[in-house]
Amino acid sequence: MAKVIMIQGTMSGVGKSLLCAALCRIFRQDGLRAAPFKSQNMALNSYVTRDGLEMGRAQVMQAQAAGVEPDVRMNPILLKPCSDTGSQVIVNGEVLGQMSAARYFQYKTQLIPHILAAYHSLAADYDVIVIEGAGSPAEINLKQNDIVNMGLAAMVNAPVLLAGDIDRGGVFAQLFGTAALLEPEEQARIKGLIINKFRGDVEILRPGLAMLEEKTGLPVLAVVPYLQVDVDDEDSLAPGLEQRGFRKPLDAAVIRLPRISNFTDFAPLQAHSLIGVRYVRRPEELGRPDLLILPGTKSTMSDLLWLRQNGLEAAIRKLAAAGTPILGICGGYQMLGRTLQDPAGTEGDGPRFLRGMELLPADTVFSSQKTRTRVEGVVQNGILSGAHVVGYEIHSGHTTIDSSTQFEPAAAAGGKDSSGPADAAGSEIPSGWDTGGVSAFCRLSDGRTEGCVRENVSGTYLHGLFDSGEAAEMLAKDLCRRKGISYAKAALVERTAYLDAQYDILADGVRSAMDMKALYRILEDGA
């Protein structure tokens, strides 16, 4: 069976995911087969594996760092919040159902067999398992029947490294207080402390480190510097270059929906030398971007209402009427259509019918059946025309297209009202379909067509469009042409090669800060 090491944190956001990724990369560099593991993840950013199962993006990122294929065993439980008090529960990549927080708290121990089966199966295939905890082990109201922090560490007999975030301040109190709130047997599992995101001269910190070690009886194994690495971040939207004081010639505005999901779709655009990506929450922030993107969301109808109520829908329609390229992905694609229906309440307790933005002749009906599939194809029409794409679909809802729709101009249609579903549900796109200025977005490798394009508005279910680099390059060229500026071609870098270099930077930064002899001793000795 594999050796095991676990990273827990004093709170959410201390950098557990990146520290685990760094260890996965370090072990790979040292010739070991490593795999990440997190028993329970909560995030709206998810991923579809090659066998069509759903898992959290953090473990995908860590698997990439380890140089192995993402596997749903690495994240057997995924919670996707659908409200402030409830989540969709996904077990072994399949939807189990919707649960309130209270119900899940009572139910979660029934999932322990799934957790242990996934872990032991991984441990039989790899040399090292790197486990990530969640939140803090000292959340004393949640410690009963814990399945993700010290409870999991006890189940698999894992030694623990406890990480704190010095960039937020109060790191000594974080680490000391967390350890103090644990039971003696839990404290005994902690084999070392990590101070993360340090800026400055470490020598100034050393007196505090000595006092911390004296008070906790635990060694500080690493003071990790604040590392500037660009890898997919599951839980937060990093500020774009525009917000950091830099300017790029092309402006891509992404609507920051309340329940935005899979925003890692746009990481390759943020990395492009010509495209500035910014996230917008209010109409006054929108301006006149060169491209507007409506991203995926866990709750399409609720987020469409939010757009409608805060004025962003009207602003988006004005941009569409003015010729600004609009791209809707997954839930964003559904919003751009004519109607959205949820007869079974799949999206929760919200409306059962909504009129869409009516920029595409698309009608969506939600159901409990979830589409999860990997796809490959070539974009046929719109701003990415000609680009080869490899991506995945992950959505609840079936969209049909009515190619006979006669559209009013986009600006004029905003005043229409509707109290019920459209008269015709439409029809799926026939192969080779291109009628009345409305065409398919993409032709898939199996011959099917996918998505919809009408003039400057495009919609698709495909996540990961830009990961190959080719689509981002096509986009930059087209936007430059539209804007009338010269295109200075940046080197086309495959996203995988770019990420590979970033993982090496991450691993090198953590390795140089870590007492590696102590780390390997802990790995060998176990708990």
Cβ distance 385 to 379 under 8 Å?
A: yes
Regions in the chain scoring below 70 on pLDDT = 232-247, 403-436, 488-495
Is residue 436 within 8 Å of residue 419, measured between CB atoms? Answer: no
CATH number, domain containing residue 412: 3.40.50.880
Counting the structural domains of the chain, the total is 2
- Classify residue 77: in a domain, yes or no: no
Residues 293 and 222 in one domain: no
Q: What does the pLDDT read at residue 350?
A: 74
pLDDT in tens, 330-350: 999 999 999 999 988 888 777
Q: Hey, how many other C-beta atoms are within 10 angstroms of the C-beta on 36?
A: 30
Strands (E), 402-505: 434-435, 438-439, 442-444, 449-450, 452-454, 457-460
User: What pLDDT shows up at residue 488?
Assistant: 66
Give the Cα separation of 484 and 486 in Å (integer): 7
pLDDT value of residue 489:
53
Q: Which helix (H) or strand (E) holds 153?
A: helix 150-156
- Give domain status of residue 198, yes or no: yes
3-state SS assignment for residue 199: coil
Structure-block tokens of residue 449: 């067509």
Secondary structure (H, E, C), 42-89: ECCCEEECCCCCEEEHHHHHHHHHHCCCCCHHHCCEEEEECCCCEEEE
Residue 94 included in any domain:
no
Same structural domain for residues 16 and 118? yes
281 and 164 in one domain? no
Q: Is 36 in contact with 27 (CB distance < 8 Å)? A: no
Domain that holds residue 381: 250-484
What is the sign, positive or negative, of the torsion defined by CA atoms of 467, 470, 473, 477? negative
Write down the pTM of the prediction.
0.68
The pLDDT assigned to 367 comes to 87
Strand partners, 3: 128
Catalytic residue among 24, 82, 330, 442, which?
330
Kindly state the DSSP code that residue 407 receives in the 8-state scheme. Answer: P
Catalytic residue, chosen from 82, 452, 463, 480, is 463
Q: What is the pLDDT of residues 484-520, one digit of tens each?
A: 887 765 555 566 777 888 899 999 999 999 999 999 9
Residues 16, 155 within the same domain: yes
HEC letters along 330-374:
CHHHHHCCCEEECCCCCCCCCCCEEECCCCCCEEEEEEEEEEEEE
* pLDDT number for residue 412: 33
Whether 20 sits among the annotated catalytic residues: the reply is: no
Contact call for residues 263 and 235 (beta carbons, < 8 A): no
- Quick check: is 84 in a domain? no
Q: Identify whether 120 is a catalytic site residue.
A: no
pLDDT at site 348: 75
Residues 260 and 330 in one domain: yes
Task: Identify whether residues 428 and 508 lie together within a single domain.
Answer: no
3-state secondary structure at position 12 = coil
Is 76 part of a structural domain of the chain? no
Taken in order 481, 485, 489, 493, is the CA torsion positive or negative? Answer: negative
List the CATH number of the domain containing 13.
3.40.50.300
